[in-house]
A and B are shown apart, each in its own frame.
Chain A
Amino acid sequence: MRPSDAFLAVTGGLGFILAGLLAGYPLAEAGRRDARLALESQLVAELGLTDLCLSTEARYTRHLSQADLFSAFQDHPRSLEHFPSGALLPPPGILTSRGGPGGGEDRP
């Protein structure tokens, strides 16, 4: 076997596996995924849920979209945000907007 044949066979095989994963796996998972999404959506609509349950340690990490405007320093005056997941949440838009405080959105 020529080296180029081996190379084409290996890369072709890997490409085929990748295409199979990208196209085939979501199809194979579709039934389970749709059933789960339907259940989740039903629960969200029935209970009027607003947030994903990602981090449960504080209200500004549990209900990101409903948190107080001045989170994350909200536990008491001058309290520093100290939860590990807080480090992975973006600061409110007002702090990062180009115009600085007062120049952007006021949502957390």
Chain B
Amino acid sequence: MSSFERQRAFLDYTLASLVRRKAKNGALVLAYALVVFLIASVMFFSRALRTEGQAVLAGAPELVVQRMLAGRFDTIPASYAVSIGKIRGVSQVEPRLWGYYFNRAVGATFTVLGLPDFAHADNEIVAGPAAAKAWTNLQEGRYLFRTFKGDSAGFTPVQVLPEETRLVSADLIIMSETAFRQVFGLPEGQYTDLAVNVRNPQEMQTVTEKIQREHPDTRPIQREEILRTYESVFEWRGGMVIVVFTGAALAFFIFAWDKATGLSAEERHEIGILKALGWDTSDVLVMKFWEGLAISLTSFLLGTIAAYAHVFLADAGLFAQALKGWSVLYVDFPLSPVVSLTELLALFFLSVVPYTFITVIPAWRAAITDPDTVMRAS
């Protein structure tokens, strides 16, 4: 008999033996697949979010300069933009106007952007997709804002940003600079922060240091720091969800360990009979190896496929709220199907290999004992 046929014969025997205890083994495969499903879902989801964040924010301002006052974020005067613009290596300084508007009627906070070159009139606005749906205090189709003076100002929505961009634009309200100053009362010549472009990216650190030397009350934020912030947020969030699932995973591992390391009386009896029939210890071990592999590989495949479908085809409905964030303005966005093969291989080796090997140890202990003793003991 060829080596291949021999292994197939072992596999046939193992599968027939597993089918004889189908309820027990079926429950094991289901619980095993569920644990793989949970871990793989978190892994796929946080990887997809991280990739999405890195791709989308690659075009964020190279350097944002904020002014700090008493340790808090304060408005920055236009004179800072002029002096920063004179620093060698700086190609452009753009003063920006943005802030938050809490809409009492909706109970949600919106991000408001004031643009100096806004393409529409001062009494018109452009709204993000979630903001357009949520803004309910309308008067004759106009969005009502309560200005800093306490009176109300109405703005006509002329455009809603595309639904596909909601990962970055969901809560945005864009208006002209004049309208922004009218609503928030920000004096002329004052801005929220400055977006700075640097000619040569290698000079970024030098420019940042020069800005801080010239204006010690500022806090420059480089694009790399923005990207790093999101990298760490998604790692942290993924870790938090894994921690929540740890209890379930631990319970399963105890169950699997118990199942794999402690042979039942029936299994001991079976090994005794096989040995009495002339099976070698190595044959019993091969049979047990196939048993562990069949259970763990099937569970891994089922769990991973279900996780992929859950995250990318069903929008990760089970835990998306925890991972995406929570808010009155619920932000929902699609994810790109990006999977790290290294992480997938790590999951494979962590789920398939240990189970396969721990099933062999007790079988080895039973197989090296005299068949008569094994059968009598069982």
Q: Measuring CB to CB, which residues of chain A are less than 8 angstroms from any residue of chain B? A: 2-4, 6-7, 10-11, 14-15, 17-18, 21-22, 25-26, 29, 33, 35-37, 39-45, 47-59, 61-70, 74, 83-85, 87-90, 93, 107-108
A-facing residues in B98-145 (Cβ within 8 Å): 100, 108-111, 113, 115, 128, 130
Judging by beta carbons under 8 Å apart, are A65 and B325 in contact? no
- Assess the B11–A44 pair: CB atoms within 8 A: no
The count of residues in chain B whose C-beta lies closer than 8 Å to any C-beta of chain A is 84
B237 cross-chain contacts in A, Cβ below 8 A = 88-89
Instruction: List residues of chain A with CB within 8 A of the CB of B329.
Output: 56
The reply on B280 being an interface residue by CB < 8 A is no
Judge whether A21 and B305 touch: CB under 8 Å: yes
Would you list 6 pairs from A and B whose C-beta atoms are within 8 A, ordered by A residue? A44-B57, A53-B111, A56-B329, A62-B111, A64-B230, A65-B229
Residues of B within 8 A of A (CB): 8, 11-12, 15-16, 19, 52-53, 55-61, 64, 66, 71-73, 94, 96, 100, 108-111, 113, 115, 128, 130, 161-162, 164-172, 174, 193, 195, 219, 221, 225-226, 228-230, 232-233, 235-237, 240, 294, 297-298, 301-302, 304-305, 308-309, 312, 322-329, 331, 334, 336-339, 341, 344
With a cutoff of 8 Å between Cβ atoms, the chain A residues found around residue B233 in the complex are: 64, 89-90
Whether A2 pairs with B12 at a CB distance below 8 angstroms is yes
Chain A residues touching B, majority SS:
helix
A-B contacts besides A11-B297, A14-B301, A48-B94, 11 pairs, CB < 8 Å:
A2-B8, A26-B336, A37-B56, A39-B165, A47-B115, A48-B61, A50-B57, A53-B172, A56-B329, A65-B225, A90-B232
Of the candidates B19, B61, B161, B331, which one forms a contact with A54 in the assembled complex, judged by CB atoms under 8 Å apart? B331
**Are the C-beta atoms of A88 and B236 separated by less than 8 Å?**
yes
A48 to B95 alpha-carbon distance, docked (Å): 11
Complex contact B60–A90 (CB within 8 A): no
A25 touching B109, Cβ below 8 Å: no
CB distance from B149 to the nearest CB of A (A): 23
Most chain A Cβ neighbours within 10 Å, of B15, B94, B329, B337:
B337
Chain A hits for B305, CB < 8 A: 14, 17-18, 21
Check A21 against B308 for contact (C-beta < 8 Å).
Answer: yes
CA distance A67 to B166 in the complex (A): 21
In whole angstroms, how far apart are the Cα atoms of A4 and B59 in the complex?
54
Q: Is the CB of A49 within 8 A of B60?
A: yes
Contacts of A33 in B (CB 8 A): 336-337
Asked if B71 and A15 make an inter-chain contact with CB atoms under 8 angstroms apart, the answer reads: no
On chain B, the residues within 8 Å of A49 by CB distance are 57, 60, 168-169
| Other-chain residue from A39, A52, A58, A62 in contact with B57 (beta carbon distance below 8 A) | A52
Measured CB to CB, the nearest residue on chain A to B298 is A11
